[in-house]
Amino acid sequence: MNILEAPENKEAVIVEIKKSDNPFLRKIEAMGLKRGEKIKVLSKVGRNIVVQVEGRKLAIDKELAKEIEIE
């Protein structure tokens, strides 16, 4: 499933970033949302989704979130 479908406050692991030719997704990877990373969805506010990764808290839009597969 992708991050958008993840339940809030449950840990999950990123397995794949789709469409990595999108420069925005590459930026997000550099920010910390990349394969193998443990994440937790903190909240969904409107178009945004707030995600906790080790040491960082990120807000990304849902369109981007759809491209991030977790498990």
Partner 1 sequence: MKEITVALIGNPNVGKTTLLNYIAGTELKVGNWPGVTVEKKEATIEYKGYKVHIVDLPGVYTLEPLSDAELVATKFLEEEDIDVILDVIDTQNFEKNFYLTTQLLEFEKPTVVVLNIYDEAERKGIKVDIPFLEEILNVKVIKAVARKGIGLDRVLDLIIETYEKKITPRIKYEQKIEDAIKELEKTLGTKLTKHEAINILLGKKKTNNEEEVKKLREELEKFFGESLEEIIKDERFGFAHGVTKEVLKKEKEQKYDITEILDTFLLHPYIGLGLYLVIMFLIFKIAFDFSAPFMDWLDGFLTGFVSPFIVVLLNSVGASEIIVNFFTEAVIGGVGFVVTFVPLIATLFFLINFLEMSGYLPRIAVLMDRFMEKLGLHGSMVIPLMLGFGCNVPAIMATRVIEDRRDKFIVTMMIPFMTCPARLIVFAFFASVFFDNPVIVIMGLYTLGIVVGLITAYFLKRTTFKGKITHFAMELPPYRLPTLKAILSVVWIHTKGFLYRAGTIIFAISIIVWGLLNLPPGIKDQSESFAAKIGKTIVPIFEPLGIEDWRASASLIPAFLAREIALSSLGTMYYAEMEKEIEMEEFKPVNELKNQGLSLLTAVKDAFLSVFSFKIAAFDVAEDEFVTLRNVIKQHFTPLSALSYMILLLIYTSCVATVAVMIQEIGKKYALLFLAYSFVAAWILAFTVYNVGKLFV
Residues 6+ apart with CB under 8 A from 23: none
Q: What angle do CA 63, 16, 58 make, to 5 degrees?
A: 50
Residue 69 interacting with partner 1 (CB under 8 A): no
Q: How far is CA 42 from the centre of its chain?
A: 11
- Residue 27 beta carbon to partner 1: minimum distance, rounded to whole angstroms: 6
Q: Which of 3, 6, 64, 68 binds partner 1 (CB under 8 A)?
A: 64
Q: How far apart are the first and last CA of the chain?
A: 7
Touching partner 1, residues 8-37 (CB under 8 A): 20, 23-24, 26-32, 34
Residue 56 interacting with partner 1 (CB under 8 A): yes
Residues of this chain that interact with partner 1 (CB under 8 A) are: 20, 23-24, 26-32, 34, 42-43, 45-48, 50, 53-61, 63-64
